[in-house]
Amino acid sequence: MSTEFVPAAEVRPVTFAVHASDHIERGHRRGEELRTGIASTLVAYRRYFSHLSIAEAAVHSAATSSWQRLQQWWPTGAEEVVAVAAGAGIDVTELMEIVARTEIMTQAPAAPTECSTVSHTSPGASVAAQNWDWVADFSTLWHFNDVGAVPGQHRHVGIAEFGMLGKIGLNEAGVGVLLNILKHTGDTAGGVPIHMILARVLAEAGTLAEALEIIDSAPTSSSSIITVITAEAAVQVEIAGAHKRERRARAGSGADGETGESGFLIHTNHFLHPDLLDGALELRPDSTSQERYRHLAEAVVRFEAERALARGGRAVTVGDLTKLLTTGPGDAPVCCTPAPGAAYGDRSATLVSVRIDPARKQIDLAPGSPADGLHGNRCFQL
């Protein structure tokens, strides 16, 4: 197979900015305007599922099951997915191979890639950032996603893979979401797609409580960690198959991802909530999740010590989080770069650097990792 791919920092993504009278028109516009990208993404995932030894029949069955669960859980979102598929000229179950790709991949023995997320809770000024790592060969298969409001829904901005309604982002109410994948023995295919949960939070949640209620209501089957960020607080929701637990920063705690005394939460790709550790798995045998977690925890402790020396302390900014998420040669790979000569299926990369400041209603999105210099950064103001 080809060993060629576009380095993430060199990608200049398209921006899909859509304003429509309702969600169905909006979906048609997405399918029509992004038809080429959707077709390329579908081909790419089918190739990748095959690489993971997931049979075509199993892919179709999982996509169909997730589609059925989605219709029951969020009919409005399901209607928009139908409209996207129609606009793109494909069957809705084909589109679901993209939308439900996380659920489909529970059928593979190992998950492909990993991510790192840091947030800081400070009432009225909470912030969060993430390095979104994914398969390097998918570096051109995502776009900036500027989704206009329709009746009953908020405008939201972020990134999305072609065909998805939403992914990582921030809405005009100041509610943002970030995502890390996890793995558990309780994982199965066929649940409501995690990416549709993210899309619904961005579309409908006006508060932290509403976002958490949406996540809790979803009948999930695959494991992930959703970080919800508002100006008031950051909350991590660990999902293990059908089970969910929340994690919040607590003053004075230095364990289990609640780092130091000033509201930091970090997460990589292993379970941290004690209720979900039974059955928790590493994503793959050579996972760097523990190593990256330790690196970030130590970096946060150093940062807090330096901040304590400043008179009265200073507010934590998205720039501070970016520095924590920046690594180079010899460090744990929080900034992920494919090894030279890595073969297809065995190479991961930080495709996007994300920074969210809910109080400012601002989200920054840059192709590549912070170590690449954030060239191509787009700042969106909601």
* The pLDDT value given to residue 248: 95
> Under 8 Å CB-to-CB from 330, ≥6 apart: which residues?
none
Same domain for 81 and 125: no
Domain end marker among 49, 75, 107: 107
pTM, entire model: 0.96
Same domain for 215 and 143: yes
* The pLDDT value given to residue 285: 86
Q: Which domain holds residue 123?
A: 116-381
* The pLDDT value given to residue 261: 53
* The pLDDT value given to residue 187: 96
Within 10 A of 21 (CB to CB), how many other CB atoms are there? Answer: 10
Pairing of strands 234-240, 243-248: antiparallel
Same domain for 123 and 102: no
For 53: left if phi > 0, alpha if psi spans -120 to 50, otherwise beta; the answer is left
Count of CA atoms in the C-beta half-sphere (13 A) of 161: 26
* The pLDDT value given to residue 346: 83
Is there a domain that residue 252 lies in? yes
* The pLDDT value given to residue 4: 78
Same domain for 74 and 135: no
For 174: left if phi > 0, alpha if psi spans -120 to 50, otherwise beta; the answer is left
Strand order in the sheet with 224-229: 15-18, 142-147, 156-161, 168-171, 176-181, 224-229, 234-240, 243-248
- The rounded average pLDDT for each run of 10 residues, N- to C-terminus, in the chain (382 residues) is 79 97 98 98 97 96 98 98 98 98 93 87 96 96 98 98 98 98 96 98 98 98 97 98 92 45 90 97 91 97 88 85 97 93 88 98 98 97 98
- Judged on CB neighbours under 10 Å (0-12, 13-18, 19+), 124 is exposed
Could you say which DSSP state residue 339 is in? P
Is there a domain that residue 14 lies in? no
Domain end marker among 56, 85, 107: 107
* The pLDDT value given to residue 307: 87
Distances (CA, A) of 208 to 43, 49, 358: 37, 35, 11
Same domain for 344 and 261: yes
Domain end marker among 74, 107, 140: 107
> Under 8 Å CB-to-CB from 169, ≥6 apart: which residues?
145, 156, 157, 158, 159, 160, 176, 177, 198, 202, 363
Could you tell me the two tokens for 245?
Answer: 């637990």
Is there a domain that residue 233 lies in? yes
Is there a domain that residue 123 lies in? yes
For 143: left if phi > 0, alpha if psi spans -120 to 50, otherwise beta; the answer is beta
Task: Give the CATH number for residue 67.
Answer: 1.10.10
Same domain for 124 and 94: no
* The pLDDT value given to residue 256: 43
* The pLDDT value given to residue 3: 56
**Is the distance from CB of 144 to CB of 258 less than 8 angstroms?**
no
Task: Give the CATH number for residue 368.
Answer: 3.60.60.10
Report d(CA 83, CA 26) in Å as an integer.
8
Residue 101 backbone phi and psi in degrees, to 5: -65, -35
**Is the distance from CB of 225 to CB of 116 less than 8 angstroms?**
no
Is there a domain that residue 193 lies in? yes
